[in-house]
Amino acid sequence: MPATFPPRQTTNFARAFSLEATRPTAAEVEEVAGVVPPATPLYLTSVATQATSELVALAAAVRRAGLEPVAHLAARRLAGAQQLQELLRGLRGEADVRRLLVIAGDIDSSGPYPDALSIVQRGKLREAGIEEIGISGYPEAHPRIPADRIETALDQKIAAATAAGLRVHIVSQFSFDAGAIVAWLRRMRKGGIDVPIKVGMAGPTSVPALLRYAKRCGVGASLKGLMSGTAAGLLGHVGPDRILETLAETEGLGDIAPHYFSFGGALATARYARDAAGLASRDRATA
């Protein structure tokens, strides 16, 4: 059953959403495309065991389905400049990819690209046809990197992207704490970061699954709130209703939009995003 949302304020805010999926099948991509508006951005998570050819083929399937593919590019998983350029040629040539999410990657660095900044500075992304990049933000503390280093890195990446002729936006790690998200957004804006921010939210899934993903991703503070609150006793699936409502009601946060992580499945997350935005059903999967 779709969630019930305030009729106008929240739905208006929720319409510019993006989705993120981990290794969806071509069939799942088609199902998602049958639910959400055309050209909805679908971010494709970087997976350590995924071959370059598989990522390119998946991005191409997203493009054919009428969605906008945004491939994750993990700096530390690249062996060198040749591999990077081959990946960029494949993404651009076969899937017309124009946007990337550039991340460091969750492994120790052993190649020439130790972090996302090195890709932005030396990856020749604009020359490869990339027009816009996303970079990571963290409403809650990063499990390994101090907050001051995170904010300095944001400034450096934005400056490097701008110098390279790339548009840039931030995609935040998901959080369950609306207050923490608002405080972080205000801190970003006060610090002079005015680029668009896609606010990470966990799409609808069961509370036990949310707890597993939160622990894995180092989302500590809001995890405690989730465990201590009434949500821990809920049955079925829960979504980020309260976060959407809070962000829609809060002024002065700049250009922000929801970004849904599909922990409960890409199709279920797409349906939730559609319903939250108050869009008419175009769900071919149930036609």
Backbone angles phi, psi at 109, to 5 degrees: -75, 130
How is residue 230 written in tokens? 């009434």
CA–CA separation, 178 and 167 (whole Å): 27
How is residue 155 written in tokens? 């400034």
How is residue 127 written in tokens? 């020359």
Highest mean pLDDT among 6-10, 47-51, 71-75: 71-75
Q: What is the pLDDT of residues 161-194, one digit of tens each?
A: 999 999 999 999 888 888 989 999 999 999 999 9
CA–CA separation, 257 and 118 (whole Å): 27
Instruction: Give pLDDT, residue 259.
Output: 98
Between residues 105 and 100, which one has the greater pLDDT? 100
pTM of the model: 0.89
Query: Is 47's pLDDT higher than 90?
Result: no
Local confidence band at 228 (pLDDT 50, 70, 90 cut-offs)? very low
How is residue 217 written in tokens? 């991703």
Query: Which of these, 55, 67, 75, 92, lies nearest to 266 by C-alpha position?
Result: 67
Distance of CA 125 to CAs 22, 77, 84, 269, 276, Å? 23, 17, 10, 30, 34
Instruction: Give pLDDT, residue 263.
Output: 85
